[in-house]
Amino acid sequence: MNDFIAAALVSTICLVGLVCFVLFHIYRGLNDSLITARIGGVYNFEYEQPVTGDPERFMAKVLSVHRLSNDSIARLNATSRYRRHDGQFVRTHHLVTAQTPDGKIRNFYAERTRNVRRPLLGSTLFKSGLAAMMF
């Protein structure tokens, strides 16, 4: 009888530990980078706003990833009206187009992101609309 109680106790402790581990990774996710983002993947990250320098947290589904060459960055700097006369604004080489849970399509420069996480159930949260409530 004592062996049965000991086995049940060890099994319960292992199960509670596994559940805690899974919930921790569902919430926090795995460390990742938007530079190596996969199309269709859902990422949770802080994006440093170029105007104020304040980070803002986003959860977004990646729609496309563009690797910009020096020539294309120079062409964008010459032709785009977006922050044309702002000397502090610098375009970088990795441009990620993503959709936020509220349906907006946004572009993010991957080099301006930090604390990038890939939640284990991010796509499920995104599809169900729960991500919009969380962020």
Domain span at residue 53? 32-134
The pLDDT of residue 122 is: 64
The pLDDT of residue 84 is: 76
Same structural domain, 73 and 8: no
First and final CA of the chain: distance in angstroms? 50
Q: Say how many domains are in the chain.
A: 2
The DSSP 8-state label assigned to residue 47 in this structure reads: E
Same structural domain, 15 and 75: no
Per-position b or e across 84-95, b if 16+ CB within 10 A of its CB: eeeeeeebeebb
How would you write the pLDDT of the chain (135 residues) with one tens digit per residue? 577 787 788 888 888 877 767 666 655 667 788 888 889 888 889 988 766 777 888 888 999 999 999 998 888 888 888 777 777 778 889 999 999 888 899 999 998 898 888 887 666 666 665 555 455
Same structural domain, 19 and 65: no
Q: Is 104 exposed, middle or buried (0-12, 13-18, 19+ CB in 10 A)?
A: exposed
CATH number at residue 50: 2.30.30
Same structural domain, 55 and 116: yes
Same structural domain, 23 and 44: no
Same structural domain, 66 and 80: yes
Same structural domain, 46 and 83: yes
The pLDDT of residue 105 is: 93
Same structural domain, 101 and 116: yes
Instruction: Report CA 52 to chain centroid distance, whole Å.
Output: 21
